[in-house]
Amino acid sequence: MPVPDLTARKLVQRPGSRKPALPRRALLAAPLLPLLGGAGPAAGLGALAAGKGVLFGTALTRMELEGSPGLGRIAETDAAVIVPGLELKWSGHRPSPEGFDFGDADFMVRFAGERGKALRGHALVWHEALPPWFASAPQDAAGMRALLERHIRTVAGRYAGRMQSWDVVNEPVEPWYRRADGLRETPFLRALGPGYIDLAFRLAHEADPAARLVLNEYGLEMPTEDNAARRAAVLALLRGMRARGVPVHALGIQAHLSAAARGFDAGLLRGFIREVAALGLEVYVTELDVTDRGLPPEIPARDAAVARCYRTFLEAALAEPALRLVVLWGLSDRYTWMNDSPHARREDGLPVRAHLYDGNFRPKPAWHAVADAFRAAPPR
Ligand code: G3I
């Protein structure tokens, strides 16, 4: 079946509007879930994971849900937690410096609420997915502080009590900049120094004291020099935050994996998770997917290798009791960021088969691999 052309659909934005698209009462009427369990039929992955004390779900977008009812059905079956993939980024609800438009975000909150799903917010501070006006906003310390304060208070405050967790700062580390602290140079860092991270967490905690607050990062799972530098920088950052009493509750390991990559070391990943846990933090896998870039074109071989990669990674991560949440960055091959990424897409031009369901929402070997990993996982 051809993939429908969704490019005509634009985010519905009402510049300058501050009026909530959905009454706050309606948002709060959505069930406040127990954070684990109770979602999806017995056969779904969310229920399997909940049996082991792990919250399982997926990222989705409004465009995808409106384009394909089949996607809503598999999400309903498998996901106990929903992450709006675009709608809670600045580009998803900040049409102008003054304005907020929560139409798409509220759609996702309703989708989750009506199906008894938990919600995860992504992301309050990220150097990407910023709206065009951001570049002309004041970039000095006072201006940036005011911008962050208003943004986090408004967005985290709107959904307070509804979010299981928030990615407060996304991707703050980048050793390529060669700073001693390993931090990425972003407009936030340039204006406010490394303290922007503590500030964002404190603001998020004030706005939504019930949400688990997460530092989310990529490139943490492989035994490469680059990933070792990222792990060291993340650990140093978290250690400092804990010492300063910053309200951080979990590290998010994005886990954008590659089935063709060699040398995954389960012991190394487990050791890193234990180091994070020793700081008194939980560990979440927040954006799991597996590109088949670099593998030959034959589908059975690609699907088997992708499934093996999901299973090997999850078996290692789930062996650690600090691992409390697993979110996939997409459920079906019909919608994937990987075909648009020069690093993740296939060099032969074939669409990647990176997810648990094919483009027609039929489960692939990867679905069974994830189910097996949860069945084998120790309870926590
Ligand atoms: O919907 C518009 C469409 O109307 C327009 O014609 C088209 C033209 O480029 O763009 C479409 O929107 C794109 C959207 O994805 C939906 O496909 C945006 O340009 C594009 O920037 C957006 O990319 C997303 C990216 O984050 C930036 O927000 C990816 O889908 C999303 O998978 C990716 O997710 C990130 C996580 O947030 C953080 N970790 C890495 C992960 C993968 O890059």
Query: Read out DSSP for 109-134?
Result: HHHHHHTT-EEEEEEEE-SSS--GGG
- What average pLDDT does this structure show over 15-23? 34
Nearest CA to ligand 1 atom 38: 170
372 contact partners, CB below 8 Å, separation of at least 6: 311
Determine if ligand 1 sits within 6 Å of the CB of residue 344: no
pLDDT tens figures, 78-122 = 999 999 999 999 999 999 999 999 999 999 999 999 999 999 999
pLDDT of residue 326: 99
- Mean pLDDT calculated for residue range 296-310: 98
Predicted confidence (pLDDT) at residue 42 exceeds the cutoff of 70: no
In a domain, 12, yes or no: no
Where residue 55 falls among pLDDT bands split at 50, 70, 90? very high
Is 10 among the domain residues?
Answer: no
* Residue 20 exposed, middle or buried by CB count within 10 Å (0-12, 13-18, 19+): middle
CATH number of domain containing 265: 3.20.20.80
In which band, very low, low, confident or very high, does the pLDDT at 24 lie, cut at 50, 70 and 90?
very low
Does residue 17 fall inside a structural domain?
no
Residues 303, 364: contact at Cβ < 8 Å? yes
In a domain, 93, yes or no: yes
The answer to the question of residue 19 being in a domain is no
What is the pLDDT, as a whole number, of residue 5? 26
Whether 10 has a pLDDT exceeding 70, the answer reads no
Q: Domain containing 267: what range?
A: 39-376
Q: Among this protein's residues, is 171 annotated catalytic?
A: yes
Ligand 1 geometric centre to CA of 53 (Å): 31
pLDDT category at 11 given cuts 50, 70, 90 is very low
The answer to whether position 51 is within a domain reads yes
Residue 176: which pLDDT band, with cuts at 50, 70 and 90? very high
Least confident of 10-14, 93-97, 175-179, 279-283: 10-14
Helix and strand counts by DSSP (H, E) for the chain: 13, 9
Q: Is the CB of 350 under 6 A from ligand 1?
A: no
Residue 31 has pLDDT above 60, yes or no: no
Question: Does ligand 1 come within 6 angstroms of the Cβ of 287?
Answer: yes
Q: Are 276 and 309 in contact (CB under 8 A)?
A: no
Share of the chain above pLDDT 90, in %: 89
Which of 27-36, 128-137, 206-215, 238-247 has the weakest average pLDDT? Answer: 27-36
Contact 62, 108 (CB under 8 A): yes
**Would residue 26 count as lying in a domain?**
no
Angle (CA) 113 45 322, round 5°: 90
* Tens digit of each residue's pLDDT (9 = 90 or more) over 129-139: 999 999 999 99
Terminal alpha carbon distance of the chain: 41
Q: Specify the higher pLDDT residue, 6 or 336.
A: 336
Tell me, using a 6 A CB cutoff, whether residue 343 lines ligand 1.
no
* pLDDT tops 90 at residue 3: no
pLDDT at 32: 36
pLDDT at 126 over 70: yes
Determine the distance separating the centroid of ligand 1 and the alpha carbon of 120, expressed in angstroms: 18
Positive or negative, the CA dihedral 207, 235, 308, 344 is positive
Count of domains for the chain: 1
Q: What is the pLDDT of residue 4?
A: 27
pLDDT tens for 194-238 read: 999 999 999 999 999 999 999 999 999 999 999 999 999 999 999
66 in active site:
no
| Count of C-beta atoms within a 10 Å radius of residue 96 | 15
User: Within a domain: residue 150?
Assistant: yes
User: What average pLDDT does the segment 118-127 reach?
Assistant: 98
